[in-house]
Structure 1
Amino acid sequence: MDNALHILTRTDLADIDITPSEVIELVEEGYLALARGDSRCPVKLMMPIPKLERDAVSYSMLGYDGSLEHLGFKTSYRQGSESAAKYYTTISLYDDATGLPFALMDCQRIGAARTPATTAIIAKHAAPEGADSALMIGTGVQGRNTLPYLLSALPGLRRLRLFGTHPDGIAESRAALRRWFPDRELELVEDVPAAVAESDIVVVASGRAAHPKVRTEWLRPGGLLISVASKGVASGALRAADYAIATSTGQLGVTGTRLAGDDDVVIDAELPEIVAGRAPARRDRSDRVFAFSSGMVITDIPVAHALATRAVAAGRGQQVRLWT
């Protein structure tokens, strides 16, 4: 059906194949296009819902991917911060070459792919030389794919460890690693501070912090701490770092100001500039590096487009003429 909007559900997208390496390449190109000035990515708009009896937040992001010539609108609503049961997120894509809407999609699968891809890209550039150990803290949707993505970017990683409290999340984290790297073992840890001190790369994506909040000072010299907008990182973690990275300084100012403690937010480099080779990922090999990862719609758009294109080719979804 010509000039139709493709509507793709979570089920439509669930088994569409895309490898971690492919997603990493798509996300990295998204950052490069932004650094070249070909793309646009305003800071996200976030709004708490003014109801005293429940905790809820909504946000939206708008961006333009200059490589694909697609515009993306992402919206999210979360009712309650302690559970993902009422978290709904969608993305709509518009083809700027034709001016036509292309797809309206559930965005859970997209976020679960581009988030670990961003983590892997940060680690590829900012991990200490010769890094061979990684610790993942958290087993929610945003964290379950992290270790296979890290391995795709840094195949020299030898020791992979996980802290989690939810049996289903732990099982799904194991399954994700096994799918892409069936020969690799995953070690569960209980002592978070000790595990942090023994790891070259630490990724924190825990929602509820069912562990001592991670402090930058726990890192070994040269260690890398990546916060995926996590409540499991101590306030002031950014201030305590020798070198600080953000995917976007503007978005850090919206969603991560507590990490600077009582100080103003000071970022040494943004990830797009690092990927483009215009900024270093650390000053010294002994730097304890802190990186704040906040989702940017210019990384959602290429992943969404790839999944939508494959889903449509497979005959998935519905086609709707909204303007007839």
Structure 2
Amino acid sequence: MDHRDDTTLRVLSTSDLAGIDIGLSDVLDTVEQAYRTLAAGRSDNPRKLTVKPTDGHSVSYAMLGRDGVREVVAVKTSYKHGLHESRDRQHYYTTLTLYDDVTGLPVAMMDCGRIGSLRTPAVSALLARECASPDARTALVIGTGTQGRLALPFLLTALPKLERLLLAGTHPDGIAAVRARLTRYFPGREPELVTDLRRAAGEADLIVATAGGHTAAAVEADWLRPGALGILVGHGLAPSTLHRADRVIATSEAQMRVTGTDLADADGALPAVDAELPAVLSGAAPGRTAPGQRIFAYNSGLVVTDIALGHRFAQLAAAQGLGTEVALWR
């Protein structure tokens, strides 16, 4: 990429990033490489810092990391305000700032919204590829918000043998958006809208729960068929699916213990994690160890994946001349 000097910073807005065309396979490969690099000990991903006021009206995060293949250092910040309000009344801002650790020069600062909307379903798809039953044919997605809208296209990219695509959602606009995204990437495929969540969960080989915090949907452990995989992104899986799972996989056990406290039992405890996704992808640990295992997978973001995908977008943006050069340090 073209680095002009050490006083300017390329700023990539939401609209800049929206105009960049990137394939789902490209996203999957980029995210997987970030995990493999971390597993090899070549990247750094310290625990995130969290600030939340006592009344819980907002939450903010700061995450620092380094990608050892791309040789990029980055800081991601995230701030959400109005957690007690409906989604349309909340304020949410997230940014990613990248620095080239070879030249020492800034790469770009960007809105991280699209990065997260792609990275998270890509991680779910990698979890599904590694942990779902080999004969999985039916997938259920719970939720039609930002994380639910690309869940099915990514699942089909990673697991092309999926036959039935089930969708549990209540918001007409969200349902329409899920259908539109699926048609864009897989013309002719149509999700089945389900109204009986218990029945749908019992028919699904894998479930991706992406619903918001106000959802009433909560799949219980005894609804699941033998060999089922449940992936928790937001809400939609009851704590029993974790505590009664035969095997537990997490992108990061440390992060699950920080952000998954709503899954704790009456004593405030969470089960041990059997394996983390970076180790599974690198071959150091298996995803599934028996056909009939009911597996719970916890999908929490690691900043190294944001760094890798953000750097990929920065490359594509620079090639297209997108962004605004700001003399930030002049």
Where on the TM-score scale, by shorter chain, does this alignment land: which range? Answer: over 0.9
Measured in 1, the distance between the counterparts of 2:119 and 2:242 equals: 23
Closer, same or farther in 2 for the Cα pair 1:291/1:10, shift >3 Å?
same
Closer, same or farther in 2 for the Cα pair 1:225/1:209, shift >3 Å?
farther
Number of the residue aligned with 1:147: 152
Percent identity for Structure 1 against Structure 2: 50
Number of the residue aligned with 1:202: 207
8 Å contact from structure 1 (residues 257, 265) kept in 2: no
Number of the residue aligned with 1:108: 113
Q: 2:175 aligns with which of 160, 165, 170?
A: 170
Number of the residue aligned with 1:89: 94
Query: Is 1:225 matched with 2:230?
Result: yes
How many residue pairs match? The answer is 321
Measured in 1, the distance between the counterparts of 2:171 and 2:261 equals: 28
Measured in 2, the distance between the counterparts of 1:155 and 1:134 equals: 11
TM-score, structure 2 normalization:
0.94
Instruction: Tell me how large the CA RMSD over aligned residues is.
Output: 1.4
SS at match of 1:238: helix
Measured in 2, the distance between the counterparts of 1:246 and 1:257 equals: 14
8 Å contact from structure 1 (residues 236, 260) kept in 2: no
SS at match of 1:303: helix
Number of the residue aligned with 2:188: 183
8 Å contact from structure 2 (residues 230, 241) kept in 1: no
In the alignment, structure 2 segments of 5+ residues that lack a partner are none
Deviation at 1:209, TM superposition (A): 4.3
8 Å contact from structure 1 (residues 193, 212) kept in 2: no
Number of the residue aligned with 1:239: 243
Q: 1:65 aligns with which of 64, 67, 70?
A: 67
Measured in 2, the distance between the counterparts of 1:174 and 1:163 equals: 12
Q: 1:125 aligns with which of 130, 134, 141?
A: 130
Measured in 1, the distance between the counterparts of 2:218 and 2:320 equals: 44
Number of the residue aligned with 1:290: 296
Deviation at 1:127, TM superposition (A): 0.3
SS at match of 1:225: strand
Deviation at 1:272, TM superposition (A): 0.2
Q: 1:309 aligns with which of 308, 315, 323?
A: 315
8 Å contact from structure 1 (residues 209, 232) kept in 2: no
Query: Is 1:215 matched with 2:220?
Result: yes
8 Å contact from structure 1 (residues 134, 200) kept in 2: yes
Number of the residue aligned with 2:50: 46
8 Å contact from structure 1 (residues 61, 297) kept in 2: yes
Letter in 2 for 1:68: R
8 Å contact from structure 2 (residues 263, 270) kept in 1: no
Deviation at 1:232, TM superposition (A): 2.5
Number of the residue aligned with 1:136: 141
Measured in 2, the distance between the counterparts of 1:144 and 1:209 equals: 18
Letter in 2 for 1:238: L
SS at match of 1:237: helix
8 Å contact from structure 1 (residues 248, 294) kept in 2: yes
Deviation at 1:15, TM superposition (A): 2.2
- Aligned runs of 1:263-282 on 2, under 5 Å? 263-282=269-288
Deviation at 1:122, TM superposition (A): 0.2
SS at match of 1:103: strand
Query: Is 1:29 matched with 2:33?
Result: yes
In the alignment, structure 1 segments of 5+ residues that lack a partner are none
Number of the residue aligned with 1:323: 329
Number of the residue aligned with 2:15: 11
Deviation at 1:215, TM superposition (A): 2.0
Deviation at 1:235, TM superposition (A): 2.7
Structure 1, residues 249-306: CA drift from partner, whole Å, max 9, x if none? 1100110033242334310000000000111112211000000000111111111111
Deviation at 1:167, TM superposition (A): 1.5
Letter in 2 for 1:184: R
TM-score, structure 1 normalization:
0.95
8 Å contact from structure 1 (residues 133, 157) kept in 2: yes
Measured in 2, the distance between the counterparts of 1:297 and 1:115 equals: 11
8 Å contact from structure 1 (residues 94, 103) kept in 2: yes
Letter in 2 for 1:69: E
Deviation at 1:88, TM superposition (A): 0.9
